[in-house]
């Protein structure tokens, strides 16, 4: 951390800003990008990385995401529930605002700041627009009596330099007209054939889960239970349609539903009333100011609330036409899953949640908890095992639980080569490395720690003699950033994007990755050791992880590798997925939730 009495801060995010920043005499450069900070350090320029000022005392409350969604209360209750579908992107945006604001506060307390120059300040996924950047930095300057100097030079959100490229807040891409026509035709044929074949069935359950779970569940449904998939998000190949016919699976299609003139007028009136209230009452703080700006410009002003209402109507129609009695979602906070859960309640169907991935952090969501006495967004939780039940208890969820296991493991355990479980000799074999990027629920984590963690783990492995290390990137992250990291630190990694993690497990002899990834149990079920890493600080609920050893740094992990100590596969899988491992979770799901449901053993 540079010492000295810096009176000027210059904020930047991109290599193109470095020359301008260095021309500001006597300034401390504050980078919001980790690799740019490394470039500045190599150039011997006085610089800090913004996340350094979050390490000690940034402790957001467990219900911070719920607080971000409070803006919906100013809408009529039924519209508020639909408007909550935008809260996922608001959570990402506003959490970035809180982090940036907190770090600037810490900087201004540490240095005698009299001037703040803004070239750029990027937060996750580039959601912070130019006006919002100025709101945040101007507020920090005002609170400390400093001059705010706006020299904004914002790169595009699509700039290939940045590490994340997910499209929150954007309209979905529309395929070319001819391809769109072919897709619609394939959907109509698949839907028509499977609906005709299942016309006499009664107990129809709509599955909105990850592909591996759906694959397991449609392979093990029982007579009397009809799985229903949304045809638009399912394969349309002849082989898949034949599989659906053999297994009694129904493919349901979404039909466009137009809002009536009365409904449109009602939404317009609610928006007018919301704007009126906001004009009458100033924002409570900088976070509220950015929230209002984003909602106005990225939601209301672009007609997205009207579009969400139309999507909700289409989902209601889907459930009604297919006579759905139950909906099972994989993450009820997902925007579409949230709308689907609302539609199910409107149409009188039950709503279960069967989590798509690992949930191990101390944070509260309105879909799983009774926030301010409100009913949770789902009716029941279908748990993988004891770990999720302990986690639900830790976050104060009142949801009843039925343990079914993790159906996503069923196809994986079949694919495993069943060679003896264990580690190869130290320094030999192939290592699959997953970026240590913490999940959104890990509120205390510093996401940028993923980069030094990769460097530290790669160097530790090289020191132990491992020569074949493959870095598998998750969708939504730009490979360019990781290629630069690999080259600049001389890590010698093979970087791949293609496929899912299970597609690489036959190649791998061991896997190192984040603790909050479903790859953990998928790897163990396949028969490979998985070493879970979670750099501090983090918000793990340690009481719920049972026999899993979580490493906070590469040194501790390397010590166990050098000693040949592999994670206890049986104990970990039993704790996390004890309801149906190995190979029985899909059968357990239908046995305990189907038309002829049986009680838990």
State mean pLDDT over 546-565. Answer: 97
Residues 528, 447, single domain; the answer is yes
> Does the pLDDT value for residue 285 go beyond 60?
yes
pLDDT, residue 547, reads 97
Residues 316, 342, single domain; the answer is yes
Is 119:153 a contact under the CB 8 Å cutoff? yes
pLDDT band with cut points at 50, 70 and 90 for residue 235: confident
Is 401:380 a contact under the CB 8 Å cutoff? yes
In a domain, 277, yes or no: no
**Shortest CA distance to 344 belongs to which of 364, 318, 306?**
318
DSSP string, 403-469: E---TTHHHHHHHS--PPPSPPSTT-SEEEE---PPPTT-TT--GGGHHHHHHHHHHHHHHTT--EE
In a domain, 597, yes or no: no
Q: Is 191 helix (H, G, I), strand (E, B) or coil?
A: helix
> 112 versus 192: which is more confidently predicted?
112
CA distance to 39, 105, 131, 234, 390, per residue, from 451 (Å): 14, 25, 29, 35, 31
pLDDT, residue 411, reads 84
Residues 214, 336, single domain; the answer is yes
pLDDT band with cut points at 50, 70 and 90 for residue 415: low
pLDDT band with cut points at 50, 70 and 90 for residue 233: confident
> Which of 347, 381, 407 lies at the terminal end of a domain, its last residue?
407
In a domain, 298, yes or no: no
CA distance to 39, 405, 460, 471, 502, per residue, from 528 (Å): 38, 19, 20, 16, 11
Task: Work out how many domains the chain is built from and give that number.
Answer: 3
State mean pLDDT over 23-39. Answer: 96
Q: Which of 3-7, 59-63, 225-229, 249-253 has the lowest mean pLDDT?
A: 3-7
Residues 391, 453, single domain; the answer is no
pLDDT, residue 168, reads 53
Q: Which helix (H) or strand (E) holds 496?
A: strand 494-496
Q: What is the domain-level CATH number for residue 84?
A: 3.40.50
Is 69:84 a contact under the CB 8 Å cutoff? yes
Percent of the chain beyond pLDDT 70? 96
Q: What is the domain-level CATH number for residue 494?
A: 3.40.50.2000
Residues 47, 136, single domain; the answer is yes
In a domain, 285, yes or no: no
> Does the pLDDT value for residue 316 go beyond 70?
yes
pLDDT band with cut points at 50, 70 and 90 for residue 579: low
> Which of 407, 437, 468 lies at the terminal end of a domain, its last residue?
407
In a domain, 30, yes or no: yes
Q: Which helix (H) or strand (E) holds 327?
A: strand 324-329
Separation between Cα atoms, residue 460 and residue 480, nearest integer Å: 23
Q: What residue numbers bound the domain in which 57 lies?
A: 8-150
Residues 490, 476, single domain; the answer is yes
As given in the structure block, the two tokens for residue 523 are 């790897």
> Does the pLDDT value for residue 173 go beyond 70?
no
Q: List, edge to edge, every strand of the sheet that includes 494-496.
A: 494-496, 468-472, 430-433, 510-514, 530-533, 550-551
* Residue that the structure tokens 């006579």 belong to: 323
pLDDT in tens, 286-313: 999 999 999 999 999 999 999 999 999 9
Most confident of 225-239, 317-331, 403-417: 317-331
Percent of the chain beyond pLDDT 90? 78
Residues 77, 186, single domain; the answer is no
pLDDT in tens, 526-543: 999 999 999 999 999 999
pLDDT, residue 542, reads 93
State mean pLDDT over 476-481. Answer: 87
List the alpha helices (DSSP H) in 149-231.
Answer: 177-197, 211-218
pLDDT, residue 179, reads 73
DSSP 44: T
- Max distance between CA atoms of the chain, in angstroms, equals 78
State mean pLDDT over 328-354. Answer: 97
Q: What is the mean pLDDT of the chain?
A: 92
Whole-model pTM: value is 0.92
In a domain, 17, yes or no: yes
pLDDT band with cut points at 50, 70 and 90 for residue 380: very high
Separation between Cα atoms, residue 487 and residue 484, nearest integer Å: 5
> Does the pLDDT value for residue 414 go beyond 90?
no
pLDDT band with cut points at 50, 70 and 90 for residue 170: low
498: β partners: none
Separation between Cα atoms, residue 454 and residue 452, nearest integer Å: 5
């Amino acid at each position: 951390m540079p010492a000295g009495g810096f009176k000027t801060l210059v904020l930047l995010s991109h290599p193109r800003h470095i020359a301008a920043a260095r021309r500001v005499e006597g300034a401390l450069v504050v980078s919001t990008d980790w690799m740019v900070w490394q470039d500045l350090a190599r150039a011997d320029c006085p610089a800090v990385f913004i996340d350094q000022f979050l390490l000690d005392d940034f402790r957001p409350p467990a219900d911070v995401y719920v607080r971000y969604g409070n803006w919906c209360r100013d809408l009529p209750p039924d519209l508020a529930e639909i408007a909550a579908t935008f809260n996922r992107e608001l959570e990402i945006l506003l959490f970035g605002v809180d982090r940036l604001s907190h770090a600037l506060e810490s900087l201004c307390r540490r240095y005698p700041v009299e001037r703040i120059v803004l070239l750029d300040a990027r937060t996750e996924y580039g959601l912070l627009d130019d006006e919002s950047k100025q709101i945040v930095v101007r507020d920090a300057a005002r609170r400390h009596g400093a001059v705010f100097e706006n020299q904004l030079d914002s790169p595009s959100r699509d700039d290939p330099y940045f590490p994340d490229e997910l499209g929150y807040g954007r309209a979905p891409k529309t395929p070319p007209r001819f391809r769109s026509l072919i897709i619609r035709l394939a959907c109509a044929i698949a839907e028509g054939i499977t609906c005709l074949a299942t016309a006499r069935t009664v107990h129809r359950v709509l599955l909105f889960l990850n592909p591996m779970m759906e694959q397991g569940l449609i392979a093990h449904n029982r007579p009397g239970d009809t799985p229903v998939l949304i045809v638009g998000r399912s394969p349309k190949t002849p082989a898949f349609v034949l599989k659906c016919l053999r297994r009694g699976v129904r493919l349901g299609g979404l039909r466009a539903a137009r809002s009536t003139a009365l409904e449109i007028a009602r939404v317009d009136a609610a928006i007018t009333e919301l704007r009126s209230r906001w004009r009458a009452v100033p924002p409570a703080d900088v976070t509220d100011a950015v929230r209002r700006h984003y909602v106005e410009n990225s939601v209301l002003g672009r007609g997205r609330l009207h579009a969400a209402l139309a999507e909700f109507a289409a989902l209601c129609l889907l459930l009604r036409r297919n006579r759905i009695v139950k909906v099972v979602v994989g993450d009820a906070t997902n925007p579409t899953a949230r709308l689907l859960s609302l539609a199910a309640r409107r149409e009188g169907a039950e709503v279960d949640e069967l989590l798509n991935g690992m949930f191990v952090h101390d944070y509260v969501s309105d879909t799983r908890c009774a926030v301010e006495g409100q009913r949770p967004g789902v009716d029941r939780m279908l748990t993988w095992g004891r770990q999720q039940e302990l986690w639900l208890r830790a976050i104060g969820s009142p949801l009843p639980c039925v343990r079914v296991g993790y159906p996503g493991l069923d196809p994986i355990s079949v694919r495993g080569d069943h060679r003896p479980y264990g580690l190869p000799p130290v320094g030999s074999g192939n290592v699959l490395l997953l970026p240590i990027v913490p999940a959104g629920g890990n509120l205390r984590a510093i996401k940028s720690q993923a980069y030094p963690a990769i460097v530290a783990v790669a160097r530790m492995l090289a020191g132990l003699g491992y020569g074949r290390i493959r870095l598998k990137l998750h969708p939504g992250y730009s490979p360019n950033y990781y290629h630069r990291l690999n080259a600049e630190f001389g890590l010698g990694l093979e970087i791949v994007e293609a496929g899912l993690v299970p597609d690489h497990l036959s190649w791998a002899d061991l896997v190192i990755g984040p603790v909050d990834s479903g790859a953990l149990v998928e790897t163990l079920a396949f028969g490979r050791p998985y070493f879970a890493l979670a750099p501090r600080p983090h918000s793990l609920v340690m009481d719920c992880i049972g026999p899993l050893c979580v490493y906070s740094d590469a040194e501790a992990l390397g010590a166990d590798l050098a000693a040949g100590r592999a994670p206890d596969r049986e104990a970990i899988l039993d704790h996390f997925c004890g309801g149906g491992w190995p190979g029985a979770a899909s059968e357990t799901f239908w046995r305990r939730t189907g038309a002829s449901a049986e009680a838990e053993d």
